[in-house]
C-alpha cells in the first residue's frame, strides 16, 4: 500500500504548487472547482493504472519495467525543464521583452507557462469549466505514473482514492500556506519533476 500512497503524494505536489500560485494572485478555488480538480486527477490515475495492467499482460515484465522507468524519467525531466522555461519567460516578461496575453486559442500554452491562466474571465474565482481545463492540462503526471506502475500489482481503486484525498488536501494546504511560500519569490514547480525522477530510479533498482 505504501506505493499507492507514494504515487498519490507525488502527483499532489503539482496540485499544491498550483494552489499556491492561485492564492498568490488572490484567485479563489471554490469547493466545486476543487472537487473537479481532485476528481479528474484521481480518475486519470485509476484509468491509467488499469490500462497499464492490461498492456503489461501482453509484453514481458522486463519490458514493462524498462518502459516504466523511461516514461517516469521522461515526465520528470520534462517537468524540470518546464520550470526552467517558466523562469526564463518570467524574466523576459519582467524586462518587457515579451508579452503574454491569454485567450482560448492558446490556453494549453498559457497553462504550461502559468497555471493561473485558467482564470480566463479574470473573475478571481475559478469556475468548474476552468477547473476542468486546468485539471486536464495538469493530468500528464497522473497519466504517466499510472501507465508506468500498472504492472506492479497496485490497486487502481485505492490509488485513485488516495490521489483524490491527497489532491484535496494539497489544494487546502496550498491555500493556507500560499502567501508565505510565494513570498520566497522562488519557483518550486521543479519539485514534482525531481520526485518523479527519484521515484523512477527507486522503482528501477528496487
Q: What is the mean pLDDT of the chain?
A: 78
CA 2, CA 115: separation in Å to the nearest integer?
A: 30
pLDDT at 152 over 60: yes
Provide the pLDDT confidence category of residue 98 given band limits of 50, 70 and 90: very low
Pairwise pLDDT comparison (141 vs 26), residue with the higher score = 26
160 Cβ contact list (under 8 Å, min separation 6)? 42, 43, 45, 46, 49
Structural domains of the chain, count: 1
79 neighbors 200 (Cβ within 8 angstroms): no
pLDDT at 161 over 90: yes
The stretch 60-69 carries a mean pLDDT of 81
30 neighbors 171 (Cβ within 8 angstroms): no
CA 96, CA 175: separation in Å to the nearest integer?
A: 30
Provide the pLDDT confidence category of residue 196 given band limits of 50, 70 and 90: confident
Q: pTM for the complete prediction?
A: 0.78
Domain span holding position 17: 2-205
The stretch 51-76 carries a mean pLDDT of 82
* pLDDT (0 to 100) of residue 112: 59
CA 117, CA 120: separation in Å to the nearest integer?
A: 6
pLDDT at 87 over 80: no
pLDDT at 97 over 50: no
pLDDT at 29 over 70: yes
Q: Which of 40-54, 87-101, 124-138 has the highest mean pLDDT?
A: 40-54
Amino acid at each position: 500500500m505504501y506505493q499507492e500512497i507514494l504515487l498519490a503524494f507525488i502527483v499532489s505536489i503539482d496540485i499544491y504548487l498550483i494552489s499556491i500560485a492561485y492564492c498568490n494572485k488572490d484567485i479563489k478555488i471554490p469547493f466545486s472547482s476543487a472537487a473537479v480538480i481532485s476528481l479528474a486527477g484521481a480518475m486519470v490515475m485509476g484509468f491509467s493504472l488499469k490500462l497499464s495492467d492490461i498492456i503489461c499482460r501482453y509484453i514481458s515484465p522486463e519490458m514493462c519495467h524498462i518502459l516504466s522507468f523511461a516514461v517516469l524519467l521522461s515526465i520528470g525531466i520534462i517537468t524540470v525543464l518546464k520550470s526552467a522555461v517558466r523562469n526564463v519567460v518570467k524574466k523576459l516578461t519582467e524586462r518587457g521583452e515579451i508579452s503574454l496575453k491569454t485567450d482560448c486559442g492558446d490556453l494549453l500554452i498559457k497553462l504550461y507557462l502559468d497555471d493561473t491562466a485558467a482564470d480566463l474571465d479574470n473573475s478571481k474565482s475559478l469556475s468548474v469549466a476552468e477547473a476542468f481545463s486546468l485539471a486536464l492540462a495538469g493530468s500528464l503526471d497522473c497519466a504517466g505514473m499510472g501507465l508506468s506502475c500498472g504492472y506492479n500489482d497496485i490497486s487502481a481503486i485505492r490509488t485513485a482514492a488516495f490521489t483524490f484525498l491527497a489532491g484535496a488536501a494539497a489544494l487546502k494546504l496550498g491555500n493556507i500556506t500560499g502567501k508565505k511560500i510565494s513570498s520566497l519569490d522562488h519557483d518550486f514547480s521543479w519539485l514534482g519533476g525531481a520526485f518523479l525522477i527519484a521515484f523512477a530510479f527507486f522503482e528501477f533498482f528496487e
